[in-house]
Chains A and B, each alone.
Chain A
Amino acid sequence: MKEFDQALKIIMSGVKLPDYRRREIQREIESHLYEKMDDLIQSGYDPQEAKRIAVESLGDAESFGDEFNRVYKEEFMMVAVIQNRVVIISSLVIGIFFTVFAIVNAIIGLASIPSGPTTWHDYNGPAFGYLMAGIPMMVIFIGTIYKWISKKEKPSLLIMFTILAYLLAILFNLGSTK
């Protein structure tokens, strides 16, 4: 399956769509390349030449990407927004702010219980909820930033949705906090 890895990387470079869509397209194109190469080899071409012709017959990567981006333009727009640096940074900054807010709130809440938390009811209050939401989210944020900076992996759709969901949960929860 490594035969066309490099070529597929180039061909797929212009396809700016969600990962699941990219994977599906890539699988189909990979199949096409194998079929074409097999046919050419059977017609007498040597494997290297057959591989080159198979890749070239797909046309240029730019128009291939453009055409697919046009077909799935709604998904393309969504990816363009989500992968926008300003959107990512703002989401992370706001997310981290609320995460820290949640943890601080949790600490204040737990500290305000006179003899410390002793019963399940003490744990089951908003302070405990903030703590349970804040700590995992902090881990996710740190992991996301680390991957983004060190491995150049842009925050995934899942992370972005998690951040959004978390933000909404915090905002809805603010009203109920004493």
Chain B
Amino acid sequence: MRIKTELMKGNLPLLVLSLLSKGDLYGYEIAKRIAERSNDLINLKEGSLYPALHLLEKHGLVTGYWVPQEGKPPRRYYNITLRGQEELAEEKKNWQEFTSVVGQILEIQV
């Protein structure tokens, strides 16, 4: 089973913020962690990760900074801001409520 791309897209910022709350990461590392942690069930088009990161940065939820690499192009790391942490806490709460409600409805239908 693969998680649908549309479903994934809407929740991508939440996943990114959650990963960044554990420490600074660069784009490719974020994509890898999402794939690893979901046992490859979430296999997003990696190109959609970057617009999501830039949108989070535009909204002040993360900040990006470049780190030079020897013999390779520099990496752009992302760091979650205080506002980002607050947003993550809020979104986590919303997500829990949402899944709980959906779960209840599904149990009734089953």
Contacts and interface: CB of A to CB of B under 8 A. Distances in A.
Interface of A: 1, 11, 25, 27-32, 34-36, 38-39, 57-60, 63-64, 67-68, 70-72
Given A68-B54, A71-B58, A31 B47 contact: no
Given A71-B54, A71-B55, A34 B48 contact: no
A72 B32 CA distance: 26
Contacts of A58: 45-47
Nearest to B5: A59
Contacts of B73: 1, 27, 30-31, 34
A63 B72 contact: no
Interface residues of A, dominant DSSP: helix
Interface size classification for chain B: 20 to 34
Given A1-B73, A59-B45, A31 B51 contact: no
Nearest to B43: A57
Contacts of A29: 47, 50
A31 B28 contact: yes
Contacts of A72: 54, 58
Contacts of B46: 32, 36, 57-59
Given A27-B76, A32-B46, A57-B47, 17 more contacts: A25-B54, A28-B76, A31-B69, A31-B72, A32-B31, A35-B29, A36-B46, A38-B72, A57-B46, A58-B45, A58-B46, A59-B46, A63-B45, A63-B48, A68-B51, A70-B51, A71-B55
Interface string B57-97: 01000000000010011111000000000000000000000
Contact of A31 (B31, B45, B54, B74): B74
Nearest to B67: A31
B27 A28 contact: yes
Given A1-B73, A31-B74, A57 B54 contact: no
Nearest 4 interchain pairs by C-beta: A59-B45, A67-B51, A58-B47, A59-B47
Tell me which of A59, A63, A67 has the highest count of chain B C-beta atoms within 10 A of its own C-beta.
A67
Tell me which of B47, B58, B73 has the highest count of chain A C-beta atoms within 10 A of its own C-beta.
B47
A3 to B, nearest CB: 10
B28 A32 contact: yes
9 contacts: A11-B47, A25-B50, A31-B76, A32-B28, A57-B47, A59-B46, A64-B50, A68-B51, A71-B54
A38 B74 CA distance: 14
A59 B47 CA distance: 6
Contacts of B74: 27, 31
A76 to B, nearest CB: 12
Contacts of A39: 32
A146 B27 CA distance: 41
